[in-house]
Amino acid sequence: MTKSHITQLTLAQPDDWHLHLRDNAALKRTVSDTARYFSRAIVMPNLRPPITTTALAIEYRDRILDACPTGNNFMPLMTLYLTDNTSEDEVQRAYDSGMVHAFKLYPAGATTNSDAGVTDLKPCAKALAAMQRLQLPLLVHGEVTSPEIDIFDREKVFIDQVMRPLLLEYPTLKVIFEHITTADAVDFVLESDARIAATITPHHLLLNRNDLLVGGVHPHNYCLPVLKRNTHQQALIKAATSGNSKFFLGTDSAPHAQHLKENACGCAGIYSSHAALELYAEAFEAANALDKLEGFASHFGADFYQLPRNTSTITLQKESWLVPKTYPFGDQPLVPMRSGEMIKWKVIS
């Protein structure tokens, strides 16, 4: 394949359709990094305690907007954390608020702050039916949590055990399979109807499990779903760069302070908001598919959420820059993706 010689690229302003902003002192870092280049972001609700009601989401949204640099029009799109107790009325309130754009399904115990997650879909039946009726998307962390299932197989097993029955039970529910990591998930999304889409992270495009485990354990590359083998990475790259509108940008940027990552029991999450668009540009360039970046980053997600596409633009230039080893994060350091290494693209306007 011939390498592209593109050195500058102008796109409609992108949105991040899967983001962890955290709260309070952390917001200064996370909100300003994301708001630099992204117009909107779908904000994950896995705080402690989780954001389970519209009232909590609106208060959280205000704290995010307060942390936003002056003059920036960043728009946080809120989500609610689905629990066994989410009522039909809460779904209606979420919809009526106009500020809540989706519900997030965490299987209990699947990842960071997911203890309050769903243990069984049966108690959620009324809430799911209401989401289906109102066309509020369900965002799915697609991993089973049974201890007997190997961690590398948890996404694949989830497709058969949970996703297929869910889609049969709710035939018009809109579902986003979040941060997909396997060829199995790519195939599943491709064979499903138009109400099913998926987000893909920059780390799952640029890294595989060797980056986690070869030459020692690399705690800063530990995330969930865990990085998979190279063949899965290749399937994700093919999907993201295919121009198929079912696949769009969601960074899953998920900061944890350095000492919580470099720990005997390190937290799951990779911080990419400092350089997200540039990292995607690297992945797309390596696949000789820079012409497909705009659809993935700036069009397909908005279309799926039935929101207007952004009309402003952003320009990237082929220019290497050095990522700082750490960034301040509240009163702690944060080690970002590519810490102390070069990134080949830079947003210039």
Interface ranges with ligand DOR (CB under 6 A): 20, 46, 111-112, 141, 223-224, 254, 268-269
Of 41, 6, 16, 39, whose CA–CA distance to 313 is shortest?
39
Catalytic residue among 252, 291, 303, 331: 252
Return the number of the residue (129 or 260) whose C-beta is nearest Zn ion. 260
Q: Is 15 in the site for Zn ion (CB under 5 A)?
A: no
x/- binding map, residues 191-210, to Zn ion, per CB under 5 A?
Answer: --------------------
252 annotated active-site: yes
- Contacts with 286 (C-beta within 8 Å, 6 or more apart), sequence order: 237
Q: From residue 93, give the alpha-carbon distance in Å to each of 88, 101, 102.
A: 9, 11, 12
In angstroms, give the least distance from the CB of 256 to ligand DOR: 6
Count, residues in the chain:
349
Q: What angle do CA 179, 314, 309 make, to 5 degrees?
A: 65
Task: Convert 103-135 into a string of H (helix), E (strand) and C (coil).
Answer: EEECECCCCCCCCCCECCCHHHHHHHHHHHHHC
Is residue 143 involved in binding Zn ion (CB under 5 A)? no
Minimum CB–partner distance for residue 125 and ligand DOR (Å) = 24
C-beta of 16 vs 252, nearer to Zn ion = 252
Question: Which of 110, 47, 112 is closest to 81 using CA atoms?
Answer: 47
DSSP-derived letter for residue 21 is -
- Cβ proximity to ligand DOR: between 257 and 302 the closer is 257
Nearest distance in Å: CB 29, Zn ion: 17
Residue number with CB closer to Zn ion (223 or 297):
223
Shortest distance (Å) from residue 330 CB to ligand DOR = 15
Q: Which residues bind Zn ion (CB under 5 A)?
A: 252
